[in-house]
């Protein structure tokens, strides 16, 4: 019997110490991925900057790791800003995204010294203009554009997807008005343009099309601006996913940008990307304990002690994962089985129709590549407790989020007798 090790620790030790379900993050793997991004994403023609899209997995310890590696940060809400501030993340390195940032959130950001805003629409730019004057604070604005490209795993479509909830069409009157508003403002400056074309992108030509679009807009400006290409780098959930190595992928982005600029005799100040999933996804593993085992006329089920509350992606996107019986690696996978969670939803399935060795109640199940959009999308549905999160590295583990206890479920509940 071979047992799965993460960060040089047998996973059964982690399960024993921290209970299941459990999110386990391999710190070294995250660091190595970040290093690969940094090695590949450099240019002699312009500055480059990598921002971690923290919605993929945001905890204080994660943000400390990101800062220690010298990356910047994307946040999309007041709550994410709050967490970043608690982590003492340098505010000058935080970029605030979102299509409907409330005035309260914008004030909170400005009062705490954030200066980079990725504005989604002209109304937001006008609010930012007003607030920047009120606070007498200079703000750098990137405009989120809809470049009419929608990238999917292995293909992209040039659309007509002009009605996206995100971004503006560059040619639109609203976008031109937003640009004018920034240019006429004493406090706002136009940092550049941003686009984000999809997630789980494997096809480099989708990125290239995006770059060409963004570069084409630069001709209208005298001073060099910056371009932010967004995130969406694909990861390997199953053997069907075949992402390019990160270093190679980002090298291609840089060289395509250099060529596109050279062709038009243009220059930029900085090129930015904002990977989320690709930094944390494959570094995360969820450990479950198998409970009951059941056969129906057409299915074998292994039931686990978590499910859609710790990983909503299979239910939400029909996402696929792979798994192993953590202490039975290498044993023949002879049973066709569906891994189902314990929540009261038929759709609460972790993995449909996979193959595993015969299991027994109490066996540990490891589901791979759950590091992105697992914990961050987790819920207390059915009053399930959010699992603990541990970071492991070189034989040592440390708890970064403790497992919830029942009392946590009642936090915020009051008797409702006080009137507004």
313: tokens are 């992606």
Phi-psi label, residue 412: left if phi above 0, alpha if psi -120 to 50, beta otherwise: left
199 binds ligand PLP, rule: CB under 6 A: yes
Among 101, 277, 342, 393, binds ligand PLP (CB under 6 A): 277
Which segment (82-90, 131-139, 228-236, 262-270) binds ligand PLP by CB under 6 A? Answer: 228-236
Among 7, 148, 167, 230, binds ligand PLP (CB under 6 A): 230
**Binding-site residues for pyridoxal 5'-phosphate:** 232, 274-277, 373
Distance separating alpha carbons of residues 369 and 322, to the nearest angstrom: 8
Coil, helix or strand for 142?
strand
Among 29, 101, 116, 196, binds ligand PLP (CB under 6 A): 196
How far lies 21's CA from each of 233, 312, 404, in Å? 27, 14, 11
Distance separating alpha carbons of residues 408 and 35, to the nearest angstrom: 37
**Is there a catalytic annotation at residue 344?**
yes
Residues 358-417 that bind ligand PLP (CB under 6 A): 372
End-to-end CA distance of the chain: 62
Give the chain's length. Answer: 420
Residues 294-333 that bind ligand PLP (CB under 6 A): none
Of the residues 175, 181, 323, 344, which is catalytic? 344
Which segment (202-210, 226-234, 263-271, 354-362) binds ligand PLP by CB under 6 A? Answer: 226-234
Q: Please, what is the minimum distance in Å from the beta carbon of residue 193 to ligand PLP? A: 13
284 binds ligand PLP, rule: CB under 6 A: no
Distance separating alpha carbons of residues 396 and 383, to the nearest angstrom: 31
Which residue lies nearer to ligand PLP by CB, 198 or 387?
198
Residues 55-74 that bind ligand PLP (CB under 6 A): 55-56, 74
Which residue lies nearer to ligand PLP by CB, 280 or 323?
280
Which residue lies nearer to ligand PLP by CB, 97 or 328?
97
Q: Please, what is the minimum distance in Å from the beta carbon of residue 16 to ligand PLP? A: 32
Please choose, from the candidates 305, 284, 368, the residue with its C-alpha nearest in 3D space to the C-alpha of residue 20.
305
Site string for ligand PLP, 152-191 (x = CB under 6 A): ----------------------------------------
**Binding-site residues for substrate:** 277, 313, 317, 345, 373
Q: Please, what is the minimum distance in Å from the beta carbon of residue 51 to ligand PLP? A: 8
Residues 86-125 that bind ligand PLP (CB under 6 A): 97
Distance separating alpha carbons of residues 92 and 277, to the nearest angstrom: 23
275 binds ligand PLP, rule: CB under 6 A: yes
Which segment (57-65, 169-177, 269-277, 306-314) binds ligand PLP by CB under 6 A? Answer: 269-277
231 binds ligand PLP, rule: CB under 6 A: yes
192 binds ligand PLP, rule: CB under 6 A: no
In which element (H, E) is residue 289 found?
A: strand 284-296
Q: Please, what is the minimum distance in Å from the beta carbon of residue 256 to ligand PLP? A: 18
In which element (H, E) is residue 139 found?
A: strand 139-144
Give phi and psi for 309, each to the nearest 5. Answer: -75, -25
Which residue lies nearer to ligand PLP by CB, 56 or 325?
56
DSSP letters spanning 186-225: SSEEEEEEE---BSSB--HHHHHHHHHHHHHHGGG-SS--
Which residue lies nearer to ligand PLP by CB, 50 or 110?
50
Among 233, 302, 303, 375, binds ligand PLP (CB under 6 A): 233
Distance separating alpha carbons of residues 154 and 166, to the nearest angstrom: 22
DSSP letters spanning 24-77: EEEHHHHHHHHHHHHHHS--SSSEEEEEEEGGGS--HHHHHHHHHTT-EEEE-S
Look at the block and give the residue holding tokens 């040619």.
Answer: 171
Residues 403, 412 contacting (CB under 8 angstroms): no
Task: State the number of binding residues for ligand PLP (CB under 6 A).
Answer: 17
Please give the residue ranges that form the binding site for ligand PLP (CB under 6 A): 53, 55-56, 74, 97, 196, 199, 230-233, 274-278, 372
The residues annotated with a catalytic role in the active site are 344
């Amino acid at each position: 019997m071979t047992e799965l090790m993460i960060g040089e620790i047998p996973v059964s030790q982690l399960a024993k110490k921290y209970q299941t379900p459990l999110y386990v993050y391999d710190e070294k793997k995250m660091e190595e991925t970040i290093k690969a991004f940094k090695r590949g994403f450099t240019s002699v023609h312009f500055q480059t900057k990598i921002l971690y899209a923290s919605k993929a997995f945001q905890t204080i310890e994660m943000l400390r790791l990101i800062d220690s590696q010298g990356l910047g940060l994307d946040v999309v809400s007041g709550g994410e800003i709050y967490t970043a501030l608690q982590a003492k993340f340098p505010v000058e390195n935080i970029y605030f995204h979102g299509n409907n940032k409330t005035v309260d959130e914008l004030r909170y950001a400005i009062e705490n010294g954030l200066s980079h805003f990725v504005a989604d629409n002209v109304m937001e730019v006008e609010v930012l203009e007003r607030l920047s004057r009120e606070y007498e604070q200079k703000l750098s604005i990137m405009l989120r554009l809809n470049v009419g490209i929608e990238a999917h795993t292995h293909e992209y479509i040039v659309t007509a997807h002009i009605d996206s909830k995100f971004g503006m069409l560059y040619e639109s009157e609203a976008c031109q008005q937003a640009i004018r508003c920034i240019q006429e403002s004493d406090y706002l400056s136009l940092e550049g343009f941003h686009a984000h074309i999809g997630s789980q992108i494997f096809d480099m030509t989708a990125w290239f099309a995006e770059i060409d679009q963004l570069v084409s807009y630069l001709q209208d400006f005298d001073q060099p601006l910056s371009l932010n290409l967004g995130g969406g780098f694909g990861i390997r959930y199953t053997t069907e996913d075949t992402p390019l190595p990160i270093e190679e992928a980002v090298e291609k982005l840089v060289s395509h940008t250099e060529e596109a600029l050279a062709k038009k005799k243009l220059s930029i100040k900085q090129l930015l990307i904002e990977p989320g999933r690709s930094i944390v996804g494959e570094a995360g593993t969820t450990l479950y304990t198998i409970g009951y085992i059941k056969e129906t006329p057409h299915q074998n089920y292994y039931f686990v002690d978590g499910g859609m509350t710790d990983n909503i992606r299979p239910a939400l996107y029909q996402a696929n994962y792979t798994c192993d019986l953590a202490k039975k690696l290498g044993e023949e996978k002879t049973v066709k089985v569906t891994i189902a969670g314990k929540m009261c939803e038929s759709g609460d399935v972790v993995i449909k129709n996979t193959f595993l060795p015969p299991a027994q109640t109490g066996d540990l199940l490891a589901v791979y590549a759950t590091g992105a959009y697992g914990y961050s999308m987790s819920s207390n549905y059915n009053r399930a407790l959010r699992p603990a999160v541990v970071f492991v590295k070189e034989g040592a583990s440390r708890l970064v989020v403790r497992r919830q206890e029942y009392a946590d479920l009642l936090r915020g509940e009051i008797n409702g007798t006080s009137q507004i």
